[in-house]
Structure 1
Amino acid sequence: AVGCDDATVTADLPDGWTIEQVRRASGDAEADLLSLERLVVVEQHDSADYDVLRPDFILSFHGLCLARAGGEWFMGELDTDGSLICWASYGPDLAEAVRGL
């Protein structure tokens, strides 16, 4: 049935958000949830190393992504191998993180 996938995805978003609300807030009509089956890292600011994140959500916006790990939203971009390289936390509020795009 059409829309079954959307219902499943909607149930998974935090704080009562739907994928449609995320798309409206971001201005990206193709924003979507990504599979968690990928390496997700965040750059350490004091070195060239990375910390591995274990996100519970990854949202994709035309090349940029937001991944929620430990209650915080991290912004980054997908690498050619499908891994997600994040550079900063944008805090616990999804609306704030989306505005940061």
Structure 2
Amino acid sequence: MTSHLPTGWTIEQIRALSHDRSATPLSLDRLVVVEGPGRSDYTTLQPEVILGFHDLCLVLHAGEWYMGQLDTDGSVACWSSYGPDLAEAIRGL
């Protein structure tokens, strides 16, 4: 399943704000997890949107944007929630 853009956003707006002309929505058909700091376990997310910025990703799950890294196998390992505001999450890239 292909990821859609967040409601009210265009890819051009996302690229302009991120200063990344290659930013793109990514397929939702991948493992996405949040790793707990200092812990070996993780929580699996059910993403609604995944936006790729080179090897970094923003993942929308339950109204929160999570920052993560795209792995070589296509999975995403997130390390933190950047809150519900996409513009703020993009600024955190």
TM-score by length of 2: 0.92
Question: Which of 16, 27, 30 matches 2:19?
Answer: 27
- Give the 5 Å matches for 1:30-41: 30-41=22-33
Greater helix percent: which structure? 1
Kindly provide the amino acid, as one letter, of the partner of residue 73 in structure 1. W
Give runs of aligned pairs for residues 43-62 of structure 1, distance below 5 A. Answer: 43-45=35-37, 47-62=39-54
SS class of match (1:75): strand
Q: Which ranges of 4 or more aligned residues in structure 1 deviate by more than 3 Å? A: none
Which runs of 5 or more structure 1 residues have no equivalent in the other structure? 1-8
CA RMSD of aligned residues (A): 1.3
Q: Which structure has the higher relative contact order (CA within 8 Å, separation 6+)?
A: 2
- Which of 65, 68, 78 in structure 1 is aligned with 2:60? 68
Counterpart check, 1:95 vs 2:77? no
The whole-number CA distance in structure 2 between the counterparts of 1:48 and 1:68 is 23
Aligned residue for 1:48, secondary structure, equals coil
Query: In the aligned structure 1, how far is the partner of 2:52 from the partner of 2:17?
Result: 13
Q: Per the alignment, in what secondary structure is the counterpart of residue 34 of structure 2?
A: strand
Amino acid at match of 1:94: L
User: Is it true that 1:14 corresponds to 2:40 in the alignment?
Assistant: no
Secondary structure of 1:51's counterpart equals strand
